[in-house]
Structure 1
């Protein structure tokens, strides 16, 4: 079954393709969607639904989309829904990480969690799946793998940041991996 993952982020697309090997998962570019779909929702769930509905309505494909937020306890849940644009519209991961590390300078409470909301639009129905990965923000960047905030996020029970893990290890414990597992279980129960 062909399903669109509503992203132009090739790293995210690869991660989801690896997690859903029994689907033909394609990105926005593959269906000719060059638009930057606006994320105008106030929550991760709303943004995920907006993107999935956009693809279904405009292109007619079943679609999954996600929105992910890094929620830092000492910053009252920020950057949250603004995670990708924390340092501005450039979405520059290094600037985002530098800003976050600067905000936490001298702060002993480094607790944080990644939260992902995945929206699935399947024919005429819509579903949402959530994944959470608790951990902490490191004091400096560690590792070269992954993307986004991976070099400064260390999940609970791990000595490594996401950026130090291989994609399979990260996929088993990450927020997106957890949400995708819920999606897979759902798809298997309806035998789609």
Structure 2
């Protein structure tokens, strides 16, 4: 994998939590991180049917707009008995036209599992794909996967998205019941970032 030699990196996200996480993780390598909002970037339309494809759209748009190397991610939950749905449409399932309602999205997920009569355990994975792109168009792609199962009813008030109905393998708590520190040690994003750092920054 290509080593990252630069001192400035644009993280193509408008999510303040993701940005803070990346900033902290990359600080030991002397990399100054800027977010998409700070750079005045709009969010490009995600039109691909894969996490890697959508992450690449975001990275390419950020590089083109700023001339800086860019890091982007696309992530979601893939439920086995729903043929991998919602997958790249994870956020879409929560869209209401007036913001996102993940309570509605979690209820839809469970409703569809019930309609299919899916047996227990209802296996699922959280997936995170990161794309690091340089101004010359070269990119490196890494993925982090957190396997587990979907449970009901939702449990816990921490985290975000589908965390309250996802129980990682080897644990008896949902991500929604874990502290940020607990979750960040094992999350799909943490695993993807670890692979990226090992390949491009270490």
Kindly state the Cα deviation for residue 107 of structure 1 after the two structures are TM-superposed. Answer: 3.5
**Root-mean-square deviation (CA), in Å?**
1.8
Secondary structure of 2:38's partner? helix
Q: Corresponding residue for 2:108?
A: 99
Q: Which runs of 5+ in 2 are unaligned?
A: 1-6
Name the CA distance, whole Å, in 1 between partners of 2:177 and 2:167.
9
Contact 1:15/1:167, CA 8 A, preserved across alignment = no
Contact 1:19/1:177, CA 8 A, preserved across alignment = no
* 2:165 matches 1:156: no
Kindly state the Cα deviation for residue 87 of structure 1 after the two structures are TM-superposed. Answer: 4.1
Change (3 A) 1:26 1:98: farther
* 2:69 matches 1:66: no
Q: Corresponding residue for 1:3?
A: 9
Secondary structure of 2:182's partner? helix
Name the CA distance, whole Å, in 2 between partners of 1:186 and 1:152.
32
Range with bigger deviation, 167-176 or 49-58:
167-176
Q: Taking structure 2 as the reference length, what is the TM-score of the superposition?
A: 0.85
For residues 8-67 of structure 1, the C-alpha deviation after alignment (integer angstroms, 9 at most, x for no partner) is 12233233334333333332111112x221111111100001100100011112111111
Contact 2:70/2:133, CA 8 A, preserved across alignment = yes
Name the CA distance, whole Å, in 2 between partners of 1:50 and 1:151.
29
Q: Taking structure 1 as the reference length, what is the TM-score of the superposition?
A: 0.89
Secondary structure of 1:81's partner? helix
* 2:119 matches 1:108: yes
* 2:154 matches 1:141: yes
Instruction: Report how many residues are paired.
Output: 188
Change (3 A) 1:41 1:31: same
